[in-house]
């Protein structure tokens, strides 16, 4: 399985979609780029979902996609997802390996931006 990524160019403030192993990234890439992995999930519009994306559910809640040890997760609204909540982060997370969560995202959520392009969406 090919690993798919996108790279946020910190100085130019735009995304690039390089091949992970094709040597197009400079040797000091970590000083110039934030790398986001593709989660292998798509939103309701079939758009790829990457770490750092912001999703809006049909219920109006905004979810952020995170990389966590062992996979991917979204922050959750505690009243909505009360099962399997991990408390080792300063906020509750729901793993994206859970079939019910994946089904909810793919059938009810839309990518509305990213933490890089739309940080204002993270404001309460």
Per-residue pLDDT of the chain (124 residues; tens, 9 = 90+): 677 889 999 999 999 887 755 566 666 777 888 989 999 999 999 999 999 999 999 888 888 999 988 889 988 765 544 444 444 455 677 888 888 889 999 999 999 999 999 988 877 6
Strands of 109-114's sheet in order across: 93-95, 71-75, 62-68, 53-57, 109-114
pLDDT at 88: 47
pLDDT at 12: 93
Measured CA distances, 109 to 52, 70, 76, 113, 121 (Å): 15, 23, 13, 12, 15
pLDDT at 103: 93
* pTM exceeds 0.85 for this model: no
pLDDT at 79: 52
Structural domain boundaries in the chain: 5-122
- Which DSSP state fits 114? E
Pick the CATH number of 5-122 from 3.60.70.12, 2.30.30.290, 2.130.10.10, 3.50.50.60: 2.30.30.290
Is the separation of the CB atoms in 39 and 72 below 8 Å? yes
């Amino acid at each position: 399985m090919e690993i798919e990524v996108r790279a946020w160019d910190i100085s130019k403030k735009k995304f690039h979609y390089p091949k992970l192993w094709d040597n197009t990234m400079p040797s000091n890439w970590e000083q110039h780029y934030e790398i986001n992995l593709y989660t292998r999930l798509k939103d309701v519009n079939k758009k790829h979902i990457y770490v750092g994306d912001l999703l809006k559910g049909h219920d109006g809640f905004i979810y952020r996609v995170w990389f966590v040890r062992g996979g991917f997760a979204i922050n959750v609204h505690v009243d909505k997802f009360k099962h399997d909540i991990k408390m080792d982060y300063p906020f509750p997370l729901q793993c994206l390996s859970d079939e019910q969560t994946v089904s909810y995202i793919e059938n009810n959520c839309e990518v509305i931006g990213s933490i890089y392009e739309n940080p204002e969406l993270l404001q309460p």
